[in-house]
Amino acid sequence: MEHVIAYADKTVLKIDGIAVKGLKPEELEAQLFVLFQRPVRLIGVTSNSLEMDIYNLEPEQILSNEKGIITAISTVPGLTATEVTQIVQAEKAKEVTADQIIPGSGNGCARERWL
């Protein structure tokens, strides 16, 4: 089976120091879409952190709006901001060429492994 992994201009954002219980990812993504006016995809959730992809937004713009982001996520049912809530990562996804991808390594996203 042939498939293509395309380049996407995205920033990976991680927020730490929150309390997560009973979160519906779609509600958080919708709230963040309103805030950023850009697609946001939740890619990781633990009991005290969130990791997400934000498309077409520079890390500097995200970091300069840390308080607004934390305020926005704390309004979503299932999430509570704590006194130590902070953005611990806002980095541009790295661009690689097809030659740099090792075929058959078994690494990749869950969808890729499933295919």
pLDDT digits (tens, 9 = 90+) for 1-15: 666 666 678 999 999
Q: Which residue has the tokens 């120091």?
A: 17
Domain CATH code at residue 30: 3.30.70
Q: Mean pLDDT, to the nearest integer, of 44-57?
A: 92
Q: 31: how many CB neighbours lie within 10 A of its CB?
A: 17
* Average pLDDT of the residues in 44-56: 92
User: Above 80 in pLDDT, residue 21?
Assistant: yes
Query: Can you tell me the mean pLDDT for 78-97?
Result: 88
Residue 80 to residue 87: CA distance in whole angstroms? 14
Crossing angle of the two packed helices 25-36 and 66-73, in degrees rounded to 10? 140
Task: Name the residue range of residue 34's domain.
Answer: 10-95
Structural domain count of the chain = 1
6 or 20: whose pLDDT is higher?
20
